[in-house]
Amino acid sequence: MHSKITEQIVPANAIALWWLGQSGFVIKSPGGTVILLDPYLSNSCQPLGRQFGFDFDRQIPAPFSAADLAGADLYMVTHTHQDHLDPETLGLYRKAAPRGKYLAPPEAVEKLQSMGVSAQEIEMTWPNKSHVVGDVTIRAAFAIPFGADDLTHVGYLVKTENGPTVYFTGDTSYHAILALGVAPHQPDVLVAVINAAFRNLGPAEAATLAKELDVKVVIPCHHDLFRDNCQPPQMLHTNLKILGLGDRYRLLDHGVCYTYPES
């Protein structure tokens, strides 16, 4: 595990995030629990995109290598798309840490197993199912997929013991049921995808979701890596301002620790 992560002290009743780019995050709790979410640290989507006429060449270097993250307490996946469940990242991670613990919805479970992860290492999840890892409670949330190639997408609510709750939307279209399912858990932070070109939330929809949930902080993601899947994150800020929530916007730097609550 990279020293930036191991040496980071997370205050009591707080949570720390490192944005890896796209929808990838490292999450750390006050008790030292480290969770990976959808790490995409390679450029494996570049040839995949070329097949369909898209420019998916990585624009921003990965802030950590897969080996830098080896030894995490949990490797968490929202769905099977390659920028979320990346075979190159997974392969290098498993080379450094041959045994691990994985959390994934049904179709991602199958894909993990096809990549050589044993069934004993994987815990399956689905919306409303909760899991405990160290001092962190994770609850899968409903998500609406891009297409029929994977119909078991999820988002995740991540809560530290006596601390805040962060809602990672995962790839999802907008629907009122998103807020209905998540609101009872009172998330403090919303980490929202904003790439409407691929039928996910756009900036206006992410801002609407933030208002419906009345979160204290809104963080955009999934807008940065590929030229043919980019969205200026400032547009989320603009839409939050329109709704009177402009002061809740936070744009994270790749690989730089963000702690909530803010000191």
Q: To the nearest 10°, report the CA torsion of 57, 233, 217, 197.
A: -70
- Provide the H-helix boundaries in 35-86: 45-51
Comparing C-alpha atoms, which of 42, 46, 49 is closest to residue 88? 42
pLDDT tens, residue by residue, 63-75: 999 999 999 999 9
Q: Which CATH superfamily is domain 3-260 in?
A: Ribonuclease Z/Hydroxyacylglutathione hydrolase-like (3.60.15.10)
Question: Whole-prediction pTM value?
Answer: 0.97
- Provide the H-helix boundaries in 14-167: 45-51, 87-96, 106-114
> Under 8 Å CB-to-CB from 175, ≥6 apart: which residues?
144
pLDDT (average), residues 163-167 = 98
> Under 8 Å CB-to-CB from 219, ≥6 apart: which residues?
17, 19, 189, 190, 191, 192, 250, 251, 252, 258
pLDDT (average), residues 111-118 = 97
Annotated domain spans of the chain = 3-260
Output the pLDDT for position 197.
82
Q: 49: pLDDT confidence band, cut at 50, 70 and 90?
A: confident
Yes or no: say if 36 and 72 are a contact pair by the CB < 8 Å rule: yes
